[in-house]
């Protein structure tokens, strides 16, 4: 006997990176920000906790959408918000990609996309990255005229960290103008060009961003999408069929404050980028080949040492990095950029592992 629907057996749930409670752990496995959020965010959350928690939050998050709209220089009706960008992505897949045709995804990208596709019965057609693990524009161009459900590009891509320039995204938007091009910009603030400025002239472009990485608020769960009103309205219809209040009062208040402290944001973002550049060179000194990263992580392989074994050896030394047992990338380690002290601990542990 089974209580579950047949659909359940076909799911392939996403496995998030570990969040172990180990004291002294150097946690470089989930691309979190190593710095705390702005003190203004904490003050705003504190204020919100003391006023009105007995009341439902604004289901349309109007004040927050206004803050995000100002940040991007768009009208508030171009902004949709959700409980982390994962939720925004899932709602977008539901709204736009259940077309009965395959969705185009790079073969190496954020694996959550595939989990959502299984859940929503969206067929996937993988478009291989080129030999440098870059998104292959020509391969996407070759699908022109074919029936597809849409396209999803993480920019910078995960877990490679490699970014496409805005012009390339614009070309992608023009391949299937009747279908949505979803650009997942979870890591865009660390050095890539945002596609949000394409939204005004491309009604099929939807750009998704998050507070989780560059604004150090992974725990608050706030993500958003920028698109023209028909796309935003479609997302709102799906949201209200599922959960009318995805963002609680604390999240809305904290998120608004995050956009009000631009100086803090820039300072700690710059610290991460600076540390990334140093880490990249030092990994190369240890013999690693490192992909060029525009994100808050680096993707590196050693010509001799097996990546899974290295990840395990690092773990034994209380340094957590991410390894994906997946074709094409199983010899890479994805290492989040931490504080300078954490990067130093990582490098020392790695040097010891390479000798051992
Ligand atoms: N997109 C990409 C490419 C990611 O790596 C992540 C984080 N795992 C997300 C989206 C989701 O981030 P969040 O739900 O925290 O906004």
**Cα of 288 to ligand 1 centre, how many Å?**
26
Mean pLDDT of the chain: 97
- Domain enclosing residue 348, as ranges: 20-36+263-355
Would residue 111 count as lying in a domain?
yes
* Residue 128 and residue 82 share a domain: yes
Ligand 1 atom having least distance to the Cα of 213: 15
Would residue 8 count as lying in a domain?
no
- Residues in contact with ligand 1 by the CB-under-6-Å rule are 84-86, 110, 154, 158, 184, 186, 210, 212, 218, 223
Structure tokens of 21?
């409670």
**Cα of 300 to ligand 1 centre, how many Å?**
20
* Residue 182 and residue 160 share a domain: yes
pLDDT tens across 33-71, in order?
Answer: 999 999 999 999 999 999 999 999 999 999 999 999 999
Kindly indicate the confidence band of residue 19, based on its pLDDT and cuts at 50, 70 and 90: confident
* Residue 307 and residue 194 share a domain: no
Contact present, 217 and 186 (Cβ < 8 Å) = no
Quick one: pLDDT at residue 23?
86
Question: Going by CA atoms, what residue is nearest to atom 7 of ligand 1?
Answer: 186
- Whether the per-residue pLDDT at 16 is higher than 90: the answer is no
Q: Is 287 left (phi over 0), alpha (psi -120 to 50) or beta?
A: left
Average pLDDT on 238-267 reads: 97
Ligand 1 atom having least distance to the Cα of 218: 15
**Cα of 97 to ligand 1 centre, how many Å?**
19
Quick one: pLDDT at residue 17?
82
Lowest-confidence range among 11-20, 178-187, 291-300? 11-20
- Whether the per-residue pLDDT at 18 is higher than 90: the answer is no
Number of domains forming the structure of the chain: 2
Kindly indicate the confidence band of residue 21, based on its pLDDT and cuts at 50, 70 and 90: confident
Would residue 306 count as lying in a domain?
yes
Lowest-confidence range among 5-19, 96-110, 294-308, 339-353? 5-19
Would residue 333 count as lying in a domain?
yes
* Residue 201 and residue 79 share a domain: yes
Which of 234, 260, 286 terminates a domain? The answer is 260
Would residue 4 count as lying in a domain?
no
Which of 238, 260, 282 terminates a domain? The answer is 260
* Residue 278 and residue 239 share a domain: no
CATH number at residue 254: 3.40.640.10
* Residue 212 and residue 163 share a domain: yes
Q: Give residue for tokens 């706030």.
A: 222
Would residue 10 count as lying in a domain?
no
Peptide bond into 252 cis (omega under 30): no
* Residue 206 and residue 246 share a domain: yes
Would residue 3 count as lying in a domain?
no
**Cα of 85 to ligand 1 centre, how many Å?**
6
**Cα of 354 to ligand 1 centre, how many Å?**
31
Question: Going by CA atoms, what residue is nearest to atom 4 of ligand 1?
Answer: 186
Ligand 1 atom having least distance to the Cα of 16: 8
**Cα of 16 to ligand 1 centre, how many Å?**
10
* Residue 55 and residue 32 share a domain: no
pLDDT tens across 65-109, in order?
Answer: 999 999 999 999 999 999 999 999 999 999 999 999 999 999 999
Which of 260, 278, 309 terminates a domain? The answer is 260
pLDDT tens across 141-199, in order?
Answer: 999 999 999 999 999 999 999 999 999 999 999 999 999 999 999 999 999 999 999 99
Would residue 13 count as lying in a domain?
no
* Residue 140 and residue 270 share a domain: no
CATH number at residue 309: 3.90.1150.10
* Residue 232 and residue 117 share a domain: yes
* Residue 251 and residue 286 share a domain: no
Of 283 and 1, the structure prediction assigns the larger pLDDT to 283
pLDDT tens across 313-324, in order?
Answer: 999 999 999 999
pTM score over 0.95: yes
User: What percent of the chain clears pLDDT 70, i.e. is strictly above it?
Assistant: 100
Quick one: pLDDT at residue 87?
98
Question: Going by CA atoms, what residue is nearest to atom 2 of ligand 1?
Answer: 186
* Residue 128 and residue 45 share a domain: yes
């Amino acid at each position: 006997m089974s209580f579950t629907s047949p659909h359940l057996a076909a799911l392939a749930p996403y496995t998030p990176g570990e969040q172990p409670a180990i004291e002294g752990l150097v946690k470089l496995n989930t691309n979190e920000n190593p710095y705390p959020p702005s003190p203004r965010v904490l003050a705003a959350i504190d204020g919100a906790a003391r006023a009105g928690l007995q009341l439902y939050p604004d289901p349309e998050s109007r004040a927050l959408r206004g803050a995000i709209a100002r940040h991007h220089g768009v009208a508030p009706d171009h902004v949709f918000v959700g409980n982390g960008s994962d939720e925004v992505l899932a709602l977008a897949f539901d709204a736009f990609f259940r077309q009965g045709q395959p969705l185009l995804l790079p073969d190496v990208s954020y694996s959550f996309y595939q989990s959502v596709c299984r859940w929503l019965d969206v067929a996937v057609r993988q478009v291989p990255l080129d030999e440098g693990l870059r998104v292959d524009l020509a391969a996407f161009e070759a699908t022109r005229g074919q029936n597809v459900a849409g396209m999803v590009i993480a920019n910078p891509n995960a877990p490679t960290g490699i970014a496409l320039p805005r012009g390339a995204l614009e070309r992608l938007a023009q391949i299937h103008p009747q279908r949505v091009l979803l650009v997942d910009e979870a890591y865009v603030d660390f050095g890539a060009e945002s596609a949000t400025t394409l939204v005004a002239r491309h009604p099929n472009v939807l750009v998704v961003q998050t507070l989780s990485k560059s604004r150090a608020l992974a725990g608050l769960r706030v993500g958003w999408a920028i698109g023209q009103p028909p796309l935003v309205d479609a997302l709102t219809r799906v949201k209200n069929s599922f959960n009318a209040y995805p963002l609680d009062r604390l999240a809305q208040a904290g998120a608004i404050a995050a956009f009000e402290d631009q100086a803090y944001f820039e300072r700690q973002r710059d610290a991460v980028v600076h540390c990334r550049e140093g880490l990249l060179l030092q990994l190369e000194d240890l013999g690693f080949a490192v992909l060029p990263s525009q994100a808050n992580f680096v993707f590196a392989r050693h010509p001799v040492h097996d990546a899974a074994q290295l990840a395990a050896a690092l773990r034994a030394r209380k340094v957590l990095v991410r390894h994906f047992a997946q074709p094409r990338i199983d010899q890479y380690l994805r290492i989040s950029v931490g504080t300078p002290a954490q990067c130093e601990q990582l490098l020392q542990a790695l040097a010891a592992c390479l000798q051992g």
